[in-house]
């Protein structure tokens, strides 16, 4: 199983306001507008263009002990990310750096030279960066997105409303929001399991929101593949900035 955590921020990355939104109906527009307002407002989301997240992650794989990672994630925009992760394997510290910048991506271990990421893994990392970007919500006001209402659902034992998100050259994503407080609680999409060579349905569950610089950020994210838990991420620190250093997204 590829490392889901490699390309995932906690929630807030870069936001680009590109114009008025287009939705199938007024209900979808109302859901999105409420979510943007409750998350922190368009002005705040627009100002803070980058995110640095320190977190711990636990990965589950069938028949194997859980793998625990700690790391720092840097995200900016729809296609820029950097992860610096560390884990202990039989008493040995293993460090890995992954960088994605648009159509390019690299991977580097502590004692090795950086290498270009293979096409299949790069596509998975790009999909993760895209999901994190649209989860900031404001990009969805771009008229190029097509938003379609979904039936109501239950998430975290609470009523949720949602819509699907479609954009050319990207997989569709279903997004659900708490009906009462308007916060994002779940995303659902198809992803490619690179190890088992098959498509799976991924659920991303957001919880434990904390206000950072006026923006509500999900400090816990849980992942399920075909209904089975595969990853939990818990952030210890989140910092939001207008822009990150461009050097972070060059070849390590």
Confidence of residue 158 (pLDDT cuts 50, 70, 90): very high
Write down the pLDDT at residue 192: 85
pTM of this prediction exceeds 0.85: yes
Nearest Cα neighbor of 10 from 242, 251, 204, 228 is 204
Distance CA 41, CA 35 (A): 9
Beta strands 215-225 and 173-178 are unpaired
Give me the residue label for tokens 């990009």.
139
User: According to the model, what pLDDT value does residue 92 have?
Assistant: 79
The residue-averaged pLDDT of 160-169 equals: 96
What pLDDT, in 10s, does the model give residues 174-199? 999 999 999 999 999 999 887 888 89
Query: pLDDT tens digit string along 187-242?
Result: 999 998 878 888 999 999 999 999 999 999 999 999 999 999 999 999 999 999 99
- Cα 73 from Cα 83, distance rounded (Å): 4
**DSSP code at position 179:** T
Report the Cα 127 to chain-centroid distance in Å.
Answer: 9
For the chain, give every domain's residue range: 4-249
Location of structure tokens 């923006």: 215
Fold of the CATH domain 4-249: outer membrane lipoprotein receptor (LolB), chain A (2.50.20)
Q: Residue 67: how many CA atoms within 13 Å on its side-chain side?
A: 20
């Amino acid at each position: 199983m590829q490392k889901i955590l490699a390309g995932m921020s906690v929630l807030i990355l870069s936001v680009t306001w590109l114009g008025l939104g287009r939705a199938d109906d007024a209900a979808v527009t109302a859901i999105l507008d409420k979510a943007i307002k409750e998350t922190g407002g368009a002005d705040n989301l627009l100002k803070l263009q980058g995110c640095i997240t320190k977190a711990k992650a636990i990965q589950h794989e069938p028949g194997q002990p859980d793998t625990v990672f700690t790391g720092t994630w840097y995200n900016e925009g729809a296609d820029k990310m950097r992860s610096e992760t560390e884990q202990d394997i039989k008493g040995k510290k293993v460090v890995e750096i992954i960088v994605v910048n648009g159509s390019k991506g690299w991977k580097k271990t502590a004692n090795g030279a950086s290498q270009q990421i293979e096409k299949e893994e790069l596509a998975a990392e790009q999909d993760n960066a895209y999901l994190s970007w649209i989860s900031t919500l404001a990009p969805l006001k771009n008229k190029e997105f097509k938003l379609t209402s979904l039936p109501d659902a239950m998430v975290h034992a609470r009523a949720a409303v949602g819509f699907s998100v479609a954009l050319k050259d990207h997989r569709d994503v279903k997004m659900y929001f708490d009906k009462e407080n308007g916060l994002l609680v779940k995303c659902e999409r198809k992803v490619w399991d690179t190890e088992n060579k098959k498509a799976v349905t991924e659920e991303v569950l957001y919880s434990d929101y904390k206000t950072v610089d006026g923006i509500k950020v999900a400090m816990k994210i849980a992942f399920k593949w075909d209904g089975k838990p595969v990853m939990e991420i818990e952030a210890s620190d989140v910092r939001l900035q207008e822009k990150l250093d461009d050097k972070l997204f060059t070849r390590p």
